[in-house]
Structure 1
Amino acid sequence: MLQTKTSIEPATFKGKDFLTLLDYTSDEILFMLNKAVELKKLQKEGHCPSLLAGKSLGMIFENASTRTRVSFEVGMTQLGGHALFLSPRDMQIGRGEPICDTAQVLSRYVDAIMVRTNSHEKVAELAKFSTVPVINALTDDYHPCQALADLLTIYENKGQFTGLKMAFIGDGNNVAHSLLIAAAKVGMDVAVATPKGYEMNPVIVEKALSVADETGSTVTITNDPLEAVRDADVIYTDVWASMGYEEEQKAREEAFTGFQVNNELVSVAKDDYIFLHCLPAHRGEEVAAEVIDSNHSVVYDEAENRLHAQKAILALLV
């Protein structure tokens, strides 16, 4: 079990939103991870507790997903609850209904709301007017559910966070933002290498640096992939053109030259490094098959851990 410095009670989480990891203390994040470890162990043993019997989750999807939809639906089912998939075509919000009205109406029907949208402001507004927990399943700025699953995967493989170095190579996107915050929160050193012009949001970087000062984590921001990967225990990458940026694919392929995670790049990492990718992956672009399909890769464990990390979030908040 991960050790916390202060005593945390489950009641601490009840009714809270899950918008970014910045909203949670380091000990609260470790508590969530312990809950995920517990629920994963019980599921593997065939003992899924019906912690959410009679509870419903409304899932608002404004863009496509595989892992997010399946993991949340299955997670609610395993915990004894029910999930409702809601696309813009299914909701009046797609025809201009104010977010405040949608939030207040859904709050009368469901016990939590999960949202996947390009606008973080939209999720924040939904949370402002909702009377039930709102869970950010991805926005343009953050992907906290993915980051929590990533931490779980790292812990399973390395057994610790402090003393480790994680390197993220690629676009300074929502995944990079949440990973930076997550690593800083648990005291893990992190280096992020992005091409010039594709850096992370400086406001979010400043927030992560403030967290790192408190936890003793070191943060390195660079445009040099080799500098980031050198002596890394964990290497992470994501697609070069995230959803919504497909029209920039060709321009990004040129800008990201030299940022592919391949055998040459990982040769400067620790011999026992693990490779992470939030998926879907494009072999031959951001990562070579020789890496993602190697024994160092734990991307399918990582994808599975979305289920367990999100079950922990649901169980604690709802």
Structure 2
Amino acid sequence: MEHWSKYWHTKGVLNSFAEGEANKGYTGVVKKFWDTTFAEIPTGGTVIDAGSGNGALALLAFDYSRANQKDFVIHGVDAARIDPAAQLSKSSPAIAKKLKQITFHSETPVEQMPFVAGSVDAVVSQFAFEYADRNQALKSILESLKEGGTFTAMAHHASSSLLKDSKQGVVILTDILENSPLFQQADLLIDLAAQAIPQLGEKGWSEFSHNRIISRSIQWTMQALQERYNKAEQQMWVNDVVRRVARVMQVMKGDNLAECRKQLAFEYHLLSDHKLRLQDQLNAALAKKDITALKKAAEKSGAKFEADVIEHDGDTFAWTLKIRKK
């Protein structure tokens, strides 16, 4: 869970798509789906965003409530350490101002939501519920709901394009971080520079044979990785890693080597954490058998269960789940 806590404390991160446009807020088919869901929630209703992260879905509910005079009381819960308003305060002050009007519950698993039984009108979840212990999370959600209350989720689909891309990412990041010498070579170059520059000076270092040899070795490793992963769907992953290391190497000077070493280590751990989050995503994704199991669990509890598949640009994007407590 620590790799998620660190992620949600990255400045400016709103949701789990920090690299894309969705990090500015959900749009398109995702927003349309949730607007339809929010329209069914009664005015003044209590809405829980289960697995809220930094509040992207809670924010969508807030905006819908304001625009349609619904006056929702909104909470967000997440098992990770979160503080959404603080994380968005500098990069997106207008968003942070809205987030301050939502009650967030940090380090609070969906399986242990702190709400009075039968007090909640709607629980919603965007790529989050499936990461929990599903049976326990479903039990907790149903207990919190009023009669007629709904649990609606958009969950990762095991056959989606998003999951196929994540599989590529795990393979490539694992190979680079665990098998490739790229980061070790870069660290060795920084270490050698720290020893040589005080004696040789910047000009002497630039002409130093060991500098040239290791630098060429790093360049060769980068090129080899780019040639190994040369398919269109692979290039984004390998090029991102190469650029991170290259940026550190490009700014190396005699007076900033300690900072360069810290930055290199930071990039390594950032990528390692990203790989862990991708692996979590793959493990959480729902196949048809998982939907069948959820349906049985919901109906055993007396709830009505519906599941569908939502597409984006002609590809499978996610499951949509709707469970109504009778």
Q: Could you tell me the TM-score, scaled by structure 1's length?
A: 0.36
Structure with more of its chain in helix, by fraction: 2
TM-score normalised by L of structure 2: 0.35
Larger Rg: 2
